[in-house]
């Protein structure tokens, strides 16, 4: 598969991740009568990855996340030469999704931008968690996400089930992380909404690049050390 096609797939996939996941938070969770709450948002994020993994996994690997690309690169599952193209496509996909979501959300009378599904710490953490707590949460959650991705996509693992494991993992991650940081584990997902929320969201965006990448890199080192190399 050509790099251009892989990049296009990553753009589309990341668009869907942000539009579907953040869209559920901005459009649906804002209405208590719909009853989706944190659980519904968590499931929505999991479903975006699950559906896209089946749709584009055979094209680009369905990273949808700069941290995933970095973790797979560190784990020697992804060539470093393709990393810049993937990251650019993922960030652009997230920004376009946030823009489309903004157009839709702002079409409602009385629309208030608010946090626009942005990620934050301290006063902007949903639960008021400190910078250190949010840093640790994002590192650990991203590390576990990458360990699951690396394990589920290992050719020694049962074949055909990886999208299900990865989608469920992202759902669980959101159930844990939404009260803490609104859950990032994905620098692209954080960047799109932050550009529209502005102010504090942009000021705090650095954490949601650094922490997920650190967590992913740790997983890229730890998984091969645990699993070893496949038998030839």
Q: Say if residue 160's pLDDT is above 90.
A: no
Q: Within a domain: residue 100?
A: yes
Greater confidence (82 vs 32) lies with 82
Q: Does residue 155 fall inside a structural domain?
A: yes
Q: Which of 68, 15, 43 is nearest to 173 (CA)?
A: 43
The tally of CA atoms less than 13 A away on the side-chain side of residue 82 is 23
* 166 within domain boundaries: yes
DSSP conformational letter for 158: P
Determine, yes or no, domain membership for 232.
no
Q: What is the CATH number of the domain that holds 70?
A: 1.20.1080.10
Q: For residue 36, is it within any domain?
A: yes
- Give the dihedral of Cα atoms 190, 191, 192, 194; nearest 10 deg: 80
Which of 24-28, 104-108, 177-181 has the largest mean confidence?
177-181
- Residue range of the domain that includes 194: 3-107+115-227
Q: Is residue 110 pLDDT above 90, yes or no?
A: no
* Residue 67 belongs to some domain of the structure: yes
Instruction: Please state the φ and ψ torsions of residue 127, each to the nearest 5 degrees.
Output: -105, 5
pLDDT of residue 223: 96
**Residue 28's pLDDT is what?**
82
Burial degree of 69 (CB within 10 A; 0-12, 13-18, 19+): buried
Chain segment 204-215, per-residue pLDDT in tens: 999 999 999 999
Structural domain count of the chain: 1
What local confidence, expressed as pLDDT, does residue 114 receive?
A: 86
What is the pLDDT averaged over residues 94-119? 93
Answer yes or no: is 74 within a domain: yes
Taking the whole predicted model, whether its pTM rises above 0.75 is answered as: yes
Identify which has the larger pLDDT, 189 or 114.
189
Cβ atoms of residues 73 and 83 within 8 Å = yes
pLDDT of residue 29: 67
d(CA 75, CA 83): 13
Mind listing the pLDDT tens digit for each residue in 7-51?
999 999 999 999 999 999 998 866 666 668 889 999 999 999 999
**DSSP 8-class letter at 34:** G
pLDDT in tens, 136-147: 999 999 999 999
Which of the pair, 90 or 115, is modelled with greater confidence?
A: 90
Using CA atoms, how far apart are residues 203 and 16, in angstroms rounded to an integer?
Answer: 25
Q: Residue 32: its pLDDT value, please?
A: 67
Please report whether residue 56 resides in a domain: yes
Question: pLDDT band at residue 128, thresholds of 50, 70 and 90?
Answer: very high
Contact at 8 Å (CB) between 24 and 36?
yes
Q: Which residue has the tokens 């990865």?
A: 166
Mean pLDDT in the chain? Answer: 94
Tell me the residue ranges of DSSP E strands in the chain: none
User: Which structure tokens are listed for 88?
Assistant: 């650019």
- pLDDT of 167 over the 70 cut: yes
């Amino acid at each position: 598969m050509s790099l251009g096609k892989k990049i296009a797939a990553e753009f589309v996939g990341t668009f869907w991740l942000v539009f579907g996941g953040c869209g559920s938070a901005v459009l649906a969770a804002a209405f208590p009568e719909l009853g989706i709450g944190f659980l519904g948002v968590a499931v929505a994020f999991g479903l975006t990855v699950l559906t896209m993994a089946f749709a584009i996994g055979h094209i680009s690997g369905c990273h949808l996340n700069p941290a995933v690309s970095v973790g797979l690169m560190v784990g020697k599952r992804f060539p470093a030469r393709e990393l810049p193209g993937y990251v650019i496509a993922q960030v652009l996909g997230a920004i376009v999704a946030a823009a489309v979501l903004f157009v839709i959300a702002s079409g409602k009378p009385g629309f208030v931008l608010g946090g626009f599904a942005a990620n934050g710490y301290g006063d902007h953490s949903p639960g008021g968690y400190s910078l250190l707590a949010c840093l640790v949460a994002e590192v650990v959650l991203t590390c576990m996400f990458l360990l699951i991705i690396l394990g589920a996509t290992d050719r020694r693992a049962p074949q055909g089930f990886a999208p299900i494991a990865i989608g469920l993992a992202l759902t669980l991650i959101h159930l844990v992380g939404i009260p803490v940081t609104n859950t990032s584990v994905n620098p692209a997902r954080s960047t799109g909404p932050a550009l529209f929320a502005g102010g504090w969201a942009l000021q705090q965006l650095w954490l949601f690049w650094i922490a997920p990448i650190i967590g992913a890199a740790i997983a890229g080192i730890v998984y091969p050390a645990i699993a070893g190399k496949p038998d030839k």
